Structure 1
Amino acid sequence: MTTGPFRSNTPPPAAFTFAELTPTAFLERSEHAFAERTAIVDGDLRFTYAQFAERSRRLAGALGALGVQPGDRVAALATNSHVMLEAHHGVPFAGGVLVPLNTRLSADELTHIVSHSGARVLLATRELEDIAETVAGRTGAALLVEGEEYEERLGRAAPSVVPVADERGLLAINYTSGTTGLPKGVMYHHRGAYLQALAMAFHLRLTPASHYLWTLPMFHCDGWCFPWGVTAAGGTHVCLRAIDADEIWRLLREEGVTHFCAAPTVLRMIAGGSSAAPLDQRVTVATGGAPPSPTLLSRMTKLGMDITHLYGLTETYGPAVVNDWHPEWDDLDADERARLQARQGVGNVVAARLRVIAEDGHDVPADGETLGELVVRGNDVMLGYYRDVAATAAVDAAGWFRTGDLGVVHPDGYVEIRDRSKDVIISGGENIASVEVERVLDSHPAVIESAVVGVPDERWGEIPVAYVTTTEEVDPDELVEHVRTHLARFKAPRRIVFGELPKTSTGKIQKNVLREREVASPGEQ
């Protein structure tokens, strides 16, 4: 029998039993545990964890001197740099809300986001000073640019840390790419970023020996929470301010890179670079945005890179789903390994179990064939859309977030995305998953990437048309026949259009642009 002051199974909470979660706690820990280890490599600059933490606290003090109060928004228009890493810690240290800005957007688009978020301060790196000045002038935000003024303000600022009062309070607002309308502000909370950062560190096996190369934009979903995840592990951030295949290969070799993340488009660029050659060390690579083709997987493996397939959205702090690899799958033949690796997988270690639901809201059977919409929930799902109650309500499916992606559940519980709901092609009453056709096209040795869209047709309603980028000239009939050898004949493209594919500022193929081209000039491309 229990004796003493606690007689029940649920003792009253004490002050020492709970602390509000925030991802900036990882920097404070690494400052203590790894003070003199290199935290950041940014060109010729090197900062230890002690310096990284001190600079971040001083940035918080500098923001306070510029009038930033708890809850105020601070926008950052920055390349992958020490400035952006400091912003991911210094802004929360100041009690502010970080608004990472897509560096590829126009001045008009950036002005809208800064205005919509109500950001009081705009941080910028030197490469983006001109456009930052334009945006700051239009919005009235105070501007702080990398360089002398930035260093002077940090130098004279008093280090500051505002305690987090509520772990579910607003940490950051990440804006969607807005390909079919104005971008929406996705709200992240401290707890979600903390847990997502741990999930990324866990699934990629980050340690103090890890050297993480920043090929993924830090503005994209807060860099999938890796600014905090790498820091939690005490690893080294290797900054890359612009995507350049030769520079990536140099850093891979000279900085001993062990990990990086990139979309398949960037992986193809790396694999096809003039400096591409097998590495001495194995590198762990996470990819998302589209399933990696078997051809690409094979090329990367030969170069010394092991691919982990991830899936997520801005609304899920980046990757909420991971293709958790079973060791026994290594013994399968190459085709079967590629098939398994192309699947999106299961919820990450902090996510709730995934569901794929039919139109009536019930789960589809785990047969690998029945199509439904992927829905998610949990700590790594957004608070909602900033200042947009209607848009938030529209994605709520009885307490689950609608991703808009259609997929199947395999008998082993692994999810495979087959298409975006808006990209399914209905031809003669048959559904054609564009991703399925693209995967087969991408397996052709001459194909770099492809996009399949449905275009209006009087007889069939819609027909599939493929837009393809190739490494060499190839007969379109050869590509059509290649698809027909792997899929039902009705799924094969009726027409092939060669050329570069239009992409969003985050590297996603703009199928809406391709569909608009077909409507404007059908069959003339």
Structure 2
Amino acid sequence: MYELHFAVPMAGAILCTLNTRLDSAMVSVLLAHSEAKVLFVDHGLLEIARGALDLLAKTNTKPPILVLISERDDSSPTSIVPGTYEYESFLETGDVGFEIRRPKSELDPISVNYTSGTTSRPKGVVYSHRGAYLNSLSTVFLHGMSSMPVYLWTVPMFHCNGWCLTWGVAAQGGTNICLRNVSPKKIFENIVLHNVTHMGGAPTVLNMIVNSSVSDQKPISRKVTIFTGGSPPPPQIFFKMEELGFSVNHLYGLTETYGPGTYCVLKPEWDSLPPLQQSKLKARQGTQHLGLEDVDILDPITMESVPADGKTMGEVMFRGNTVMSGYFKDLQATEEAFKGGWFRSGDLAVKHPDGYRNKGRLKDIIISGGENISTVEVEMVFYGHPEVLEAAVVARPDNHWGQTPCAFVKLKEGSCVDAQELIRFCRDHLPHYMAPKQ
């Protein structure tokens, strides 16, 4: 996939990286919607691809050419289905004199990235060449990457083209360390073996690392810079990652902003604060990166900027070159997303007096008896309990209050805490109306 991030645009084509966790039905939908002409498939996902092509055949949609990426020692003709190309053999048929087909305009599309489709059918987010190179360079700056970094991939390349670091690491002459599966043991082994300097990962990956068994962990001789994004990571996770030898920085963005759009600038004066307080500050989002024109917290109706009081909620909105060109073949959704001249993220946030921000998804706000409850805030409290591994809080319908918080909690191995103890813990650390009843 890393090679294809360069080969496909250089051939004058448009890249469309698909989530490796999708099933055949969804893959067939995305192949039809994207009008894909060629499908490159890892050998481990071949059956899903075949299922998708069978479904396409039933709709009279012309199937894409299939290119199988086999293991290096598994390219014999007997292992290749008739009508299917094998990747390495396919490359050997290429024209060495081929001239790169450059874009006619910087605004020509370079890729289409499908959103995860949490509320509806996934939407195809169109990236331009200009936005991709600006976000590539911006992400390199965010990571503090000097020349020849060693980057460990735990952010999937199908996710915003790996936060645009597919191109960014190459621009710095970097080395890419790729994992077939993400596990704490492999992460530590590769960091030590290859002297990894940088990596990125969702808060889930950080949680896996800090809660891994001691036998899987290895001492890290130099700080590894790790960027995390997605849901705000619990401060406790930040603190434990630092203890293990990682320097954690927090990003925020969406597929529609080419991945990272803002980051938390670490201030020197924070160094003198207690570790847990430092972690809470680092968990906030900070300022826009160099490639973005503007980001603000606006009232979605009046489009006025909210006061920087740390309390008034508004919607996070973006504008600039590193915001998508639009949704592929969906003009209505594009117009709705850019209503008012800004890209509307659907994320809620408050603005602090120092300019930093805290955010939560609009759909993650629970309205209980007229009070707004942030699910993220409740989840943070759960992570403060020593026996909790993971927590997710959602709204539960309630005849009296309208909604009340309900928590799904995964305990650490060997723990035997009951639900009532966890509820009491929350009530001790939160206003009672915010504490889950179940």
Q: TM-score, normalised by structure 1?
A: 0.76
For 1:280 and 1:479, locate their aligned partners in 2 and report how far apart those are by CA, in whole Å: 38
Structure 1 segment 91-102 matched on structure 2, within 5 A:
91-102=8-19
Query: Aligned with 2:66: secondary structure?
Result: strand
Query: Aligned with 2:104: secondary structure?
Result: coil
Residue 294 of structure 1: aligned partner: 235
For 1:345 and 1:108, locate their aligned partners in 2 and report how far apart those are by CA, in whole Å: 39
Q: Which runs of 5+ in 2 are unaligned?
A: 57-61, 76-85
Choose which of 151, 154, 178 in structure 2 pairs with 1:215: 154
Query: Aligned with 1:337: secondary structure?
Result: helix
- Alignment partner of 1:258 is 2:200: no
Query: Is the 1:91–1:98 Cα contact (8 Å) retained in structure 2?
Result: yes
Choose which of 183, 187, 205 in structure 1 pairs with 2:144: 205
Query: Aligned with 1:132: secondary structure?
Result: helix
For 2:183 and 2:275, locate their aligned partners in 1 and report how far apart those are by CA, in whole Å: 30
Query: Is the 2:138–2:291 Cα contact (8 Å) retained in structure 1?
Result: yes
Shift of 1:303: 0.9
For 1:482 and 1:310, locate their aligned partners in 2 and report how far apart those are by CA, in whole Å: 30
For 1:203 and 1:306, locate their aligned partners in 2 and report how far apart those are by CA, in whole Å: 13
Shift of 1:403: 0.6
For 1:174 and 1:182, locate their aligned partners in 2 and report how far apart those are by CA, in whole Å: 13
Shift of 1:327: 2.0
- Alignment partner of 1:402 is 2:344: yes
Choose which of 155, 170, 179 in structure 2 pairs with 1:240: 179
Residue 122 of structure 1: aligned partner: 39
Residue 190 of structure 1: aligned partner: 129
Residue 30 of structure 2: aligned partner: 113
Shift of 1:450: 1.2
Residue 355 of structure 1: aligned partner: 296
- 1:104 is matched by which residue type in structure 2? R
For 1:244 and 1:180, locate their aligned partners in 2 and report how far apart those are by CA, in whole Å: 29
Query: Aligned with 1:98: secondary structure?
Result: coil
For 1:282 and 1:124, locate their aligned partners in 2 and report how far apart those are by CA, in whole Å: 36
- 1:232 is matched by which residue type in structure 2? A
Structure 1 segment 235-384 matched on structure 2, within 5 A:
235-274=174-213, 275-358=216-299, 359-384=301-326
Residue 384 of structure 2: aligned partner: 443
Query: Aligned with 2:294: secondary structure?
Result: coil
Query: Is the 2:228–2:249 Cα contact (8 Å) retained in structure 1?
Result: yes
Residue 81 of structure 2: aligned partner: none
For 2:52 and 2:400, locate their aligned partners in 1 and report how far apart those are by CA, in whole Å: 50
Deviations 1:467-511 (A, max 9, x none): 11110221323322332333222111111xxxxxxxxxxxxxxxx
Query: Aligned with 1:405: secondary structure?
Result: strand
Residue 73 of structure 1: aligned partner: none
Query: Is the 1:457–1:463 Cα contact (8 Å) retained in structure 2?
Result: yes
Residue 140 of structure 1: aligned partner: 63
Choose which of 397, 400, 415 in structure 2 pairs with 1:459: 400
Query: Is the 1:483–1:492 Cα contact (8 Å) retained in structure 2?
Result: yes
Query: Aligned with 1:364: secondary structure?
Result: coil
Query: Aligned with 1:123: secondary structure?
Result: strand
Choose which of 476, 486, 492 in structure 1 pairs with 2:429: 486
For 1:326 and 1:136, locate their aligned partners in 2 and report how far apart those are by CA, in whole Å: 52
For 2:185 and 2:53, locate their aligned partners in 1 and report how far apart those are by CA, in whole Å: 34
Query: Aligned with 2:406: secondary structure?
Result: strand
Shift of 1:346: 1.4
For 1:271 and 1:439, locate their aligned partners in 2 and report how far apart those are by CA, in whole Å: 16
Deviations 1:239-296 (A, max 9, x none): 1111122222211111111111111111111222231243112100011111111221
Query: Aligned with 1:113: secondary structure?
Result: helix
- 2:312 is matched by which residue type in structure 1? T
Residue 105 of structure 2: aligned partner: 166
Stretch moving more, 144-153 or 104-113: 144-153
Query: Aligned with 2:26: secondary structure?
Result: helix
- 1:271 is matched by which residue type in structure 2? V
For 1:375 and 1:490, locate their aligned partners in 2 and report how far apart those are by CA, in whole Å: 30
Deviations 1:42-85 (A, max 9, x none): xxxxxxxxxxxxxxxxxxxxxxxxxxxxxxxxxxxxxxxxxx01
For 1:428 and 1:129, locate their aligned partners in 2 and report how far apart those are by CA, in whole Å: 51
Query: Aligned with 1:375: secondary structure?
Result: strand
Deviations 1:23-47 (A, max 9, x none): xxxxxxxxxxxxxxxxxxxxxxxxx
Q: TM-score, normalised by structure 2?
A: 0.91
For 1:221 and 1:245, locate their aligned partners in 2 and report how far apart those are by CA, in whole Å: 23
Residue 63 of structure 1: aligned partner: none
For 1:237 and 1:328, locate their aligned partners in 2 and report how far apart those are by CA, in whole Å: 34
Residue 79 of structure 2: aligned partner: none
Name the Cα RMSD after superposition.
Answer: 1.4
Residue 389 of structure 1: aligned partner: 331
Shift of 1:135: 2.8
- 2:89 is matched by which residue type in structure 1? E
Stretch moving more, 151-160 or 114-123: 151-160
Deviations 1:328-357 (A, max 9, x none): 211211232122111121111211232111
Shift of 1:209: 3.5
Query: Is the 1:287–1:309 Cα contact (8 Å) retained in structure 2?
Result: yes
Query: Aligned with 2:347: secondary structure?
Result: strand
For 1:133 and 1:106, locate their aligned partners in 2 and report how far apart those are by CA, in whole Å: 11
Query: Is the 1:372–1:407 Cα contact (8 Å) retained in structure 2?
Result: yes
For 2:275 and 2:111, locate their aligned partners in 1 and report how far apart those are by CA, in whole Å: 42
Deviations 1:450-481 (A, max 9, x none): 11111111111111111111102213233223
Deviations 1:424-475 (A, max 9, x none): 1111111111111111112222112211111111111111111111102213
Query: Is the 2:189–2:218 Cα contact (8 Å) retained in structure 1?
Result: no
Choose which of 416, 419, 425 in structure 1 pairs with 2:366: 425
Shift of 1:124: 1.6
